[in-house]
Amino acid sequence: MKNINATVSPMPETRFVAVVKRECETSVMVAPVLTALAQHVPLEVWSQDDPAFPPGVDTRDDRSLEMSFRLDIETVPTLIRLRGDDEEGRTVGWLRDAWSDLVGRPVGDDLPDMRPGCGSRSREPGVHEQLVARYGRPGLTSRTIDVDDWADPHEVAFDRGWTDGLPVVPPTDGRIVRMLTGTTRSPDEVIGAMPPNLAPCTVEKVAINAVMAGCRPEYLPVVLAAVEAALDPLFTMHGLLCTTCFSSPIVVVNGPITRAIGMNSGMNALGQGNRANATIGRALQLAVRNVGGGIPGELDRSTLGGPGKYTFCFAEDESHPDWMPLSVARGVDPDTNAVTLFQGDGVQGFIDQRSRTPEELTRSLAMSLAAVGHPKLAEFTNALLVLSPEHHGIFAAAGWDRERIERELNAALVRPGADLVQGAQGVGEGITPGREGEQVAKFWPDGLLIARAGGEAGLYSAICAGWTGGRFRDESKPVTREIIP
Amino acid sequence: MSEHLRDPTSETTSTQRPRREPLATFAERTVALLDIGKMRGDEFVDRLETNFASLGIGTRRYRKPTNARVAPPDLIQQITLECHAVVLALSD
């Protein structure tokens, strides 16, 4: 039994309310029935699109859709019988027997037995959430910021320091409520303490920042998983934010959700142009900025920064049957949605259009990977290698799987310590003196991550250097998290 | 109709936009004296100029083309580059 808001005019005990719209053929068909019914019973007719429809009835204007929202109308026409303010029954669309039973007399004898109704305007995409914000209880607890009548909300966001330098979508209640439909998680759930200020970060705060970043609701679970991964102490988000280095979180997304939300794992996967890639990474950055207070020039102390600090997110191409996705390599079940956050810099291009064997390509890749951070540094940073389909194809044709590629690359990256120690080769930078007699690996055994992505054409891959925090092997690591719906 | 936004931050600051910090010192600072173009604005700026000078504070004079419109961007940029604080001569 639904209780109707007191804005419905007081009526005799039993009364009827109908909701219609002119653009609905079934509503037009039942209009004569409503006109006739109004002669015999107390009847309010609310029209969603034309206050002059139906003719011959004292129609109420519901173009605001407030009454449709309060009556929870999903289909028009809907006829409701009320006693006082209590609903006794309703019928949707046209069912002659149901209408006749509801009004207690035969109606519509000249009409067909049934006709389906039409969708209510109050249930069109995005409308219901706007109505919740306007007439309902959106259930949001973040404080409101009033924007003056003549102020531009985009400028307000800039003035308040909420943006990364690019415009943001103003976070209105309607947009936030709609964003929250993308997750089953409660808005007040605390995900963790966001550095550097260690402020409690709730699902609602993430949703607000996702709105501002331009996300669609179906991206929100990915954003939430990315925030969760960033807040894992092992990810050392505080240090990553405060560092003088270039690094920021790089988000690699795996699983069926990447196809479902249209992420780009192919041509230009690391570049611009895909809404999901661009806004998921940006939402994470905005949450760090706004919830955590990570502001450049304040606690964000990067010497030069990098374009990845706006956004850096892509999906892995899992289409090759022999390729083990990054998430699976890191312990997640196959076909499970997951994010991996890597503390990394921008893209260092790797060009090799001549190598044709896996051995050649391994040696070639090792030469470029050795330059990560500095050619003479070792066990100092991690690295993310984004292997293009054509380069991967050389390995795959020889039967090399992920495990073999990683093993061979790491082996090719073992170098004589005498060449790497500080001062060697006339360069001050290098590994600690005293290791001249060792054979030194470039990366820790788990420090080289490989993802497969990119367009089908091009013997180019990408190397993302890791953050220098990677030298503390057990204290700072990439983090993988399953995505919760 | 006014719009309401939800705060994306941890809400540790005022809902009001923070004011710029006032100058900690006038030493080696220049104050812009901006005549917005209303009547007798020049007299007011003359007096301000004299008073600042008596305190050893450097000033530069500027004037809006008309009081009926906001200051043009090039004037604002010029003041930003040349001065550290502004006094608006809202005179009549």
The alpha-carbon gap from A297 to the nearest alpha carbon of chain B, in Å, equals: 17
The mean pLDDT value of chain A amounts to 94
User: Which distant-in-sequence residues (6+ apart) come within 8 Å of A328 by Cβ?
Assistant: A254, A334
The pLDDT > 90 percentage for chain A reads 89
Question: What is the average per-residue pLDDT within A27-33?
Answer: 97
Answer left, alpha or beta for residue A65, where phi above 0 means left and psi between -120 and 50 means alpha: left
Question: What is the average per-residue pLDDT within A382-390?
Answer: 98
Structure tokens at A296: 């450049």
Distances (CA, A) of A178 to A123, A167, A185, A207, A405: 12, 20, 13, 9, 44
Structure tokens at A243: 């560092």
Q: Lowest-confidence range among A6-20, A326-340, A359-373?
A: A6-20
**Which site among A148, A150, A160, A291 would you substitute to test the B interface, given the most B Cβ atoms closer than 10 Å to its Cβ?**
A160
Res A8: pLDDT: 52
Strand A78-83 to strand A439-441: parallel, antiparallel, or no bridges (unpaired)? unpaired
State pLDDT tens for residues A368-381: 999 999 999 999 99
The alpha-carbon gap from B47 to the nearest alpha carbon of chain A, in Å, equals: 34
Check residue A416 and report its DSSP letter. Answer: E
pLDDT at A5 over 60: no
pLDDT at A1 over 50: no
Contact B9 A197 (CB under 8 A): no
Confidence of residue B3 (pLDDT cuts 50, 70, 90): confident
Helix segments in A93-236, DSSP class H = 96-103, 127-135, 153-159, 173-180, 203-213, 220-231
Strand partners, B87: B33
* A375 interface with B at CB cutoff 8 Å: no
State pLDDT tens for residues A63-122: 999 999 999 999 999 999 999 889 999 999 999 999 999 999 999 999 999 999 999 999
Strand partners, A482: A338
Query: From CA A110, how far away is CA A131, in angstroms rounded?
Result: 37
Confidence of residue A30 (pLDDT cuts 50, 70, 90): very high
Query: From CA A185, how far away is CA A480, in angstroms rounded?
Result: 20
Distances (CA, A) of A90 to A1, A144, A151, A471, B55: 10, 38, 45, 68, 82
Nearest CA in chain A to B10: A291
Nearest to A222 by CA among A188, A177, A252: A252
Strand partners, A59: A45
In this structure, are residues A476 and A466 in contact, taking their beta carbons and an 8 Å threshold?
no
pLDDT at A392 over 80: yes
In this structure, are residues A386 and A451 in contact, taking their beta carbons and an 8 Å threshold?
yes
Question: What is the average per-residue pLDDT within A423-434?
Answer: 96
Question: What is the average per-residue pLDDT within B24-38?
Answer: 92
Query: From CA A289, how far away is CA A297, in angstroms rounded?
Result: 12
Contact A286 B8 (CB under 8 A): yes
Compute the residue count for chain A: 485
Confidence of residue A483 (pLDDT cuts 50, 70, 90): very high
Q: Which residues of B touch A (CB under 8 A)?
A: 1-12, 15, 17
Res B17: pLDDT: 72
Question: What is the average per-residue pLDDT within A423-446?
Answer: 96
Query: From CA A388, how far away is CA A383, in angstroms rounded?
Result: 16
In this structure, are residues A11 and A83 in contact, taking their beta carbons and an 8 Å threshold?
no
Query: From CA A467, how far away is CA A166, in angstroms rounded?
Result: 25
Contact B9 A140 (CB under 8 A): no
* HSE toward the beta carbon, residue A465, CA cutoff 13 A: 26
Tell me which amino acid residue A152 is: D
Facing B8 at nearest CB: one of A148, A162, A200: A162
Res A299: pLDDT: 87
Q: Lowest-confidence range among A33-37, A473-477, B33-37?
A: A473-477
State pLDDT tens for residues A191-250: 999 998 889 999 999 999 999 999 999 999 999 999 999 999 999 999 898 889 899 999
State pLDDT tens for residues A142-199: 999 999 989 999 999 999 999 999 999 999 999 999 999 999 999 999 999 999 888 9
Question: What is the average per-residue pLDDT within A406-417?
Answer: 98
Distances (CA, A) of A167 to A158, A159, A251, A293, A366: 8, 11, 22, 18, 41
State the helix-helix crossing angle for A358-369 and A389-397, rounded to 10 degrees.
140
Contact A162 B1 (CB under 8 A): no
In chain B, residues with a C-beta closer than 8 Å to the C-beta of A142 are 6-8, 11
Contact A170 B3 (CB under 8 A): yes
Res A22: pLDDT: 97
Confidence of residue A2 (pLDDT cuts 50, 70, 90): very low
Res B65: pLDDT: 86
Contact A146 B8 (CB under 8 A): no
Confidence of residue A12 (pLDDT cuts 50, 70, 90): low
Question: What is the average per-residue pLDDT within A339-354?
Answer: 96
Distances (CA, A) of A468 to A235, A244, A301, A374, B31: 13, 10, 14, 11, 45
State the helix-helix crossing angle for A173-180 and A127-135, rounded to 10 degrees.
120
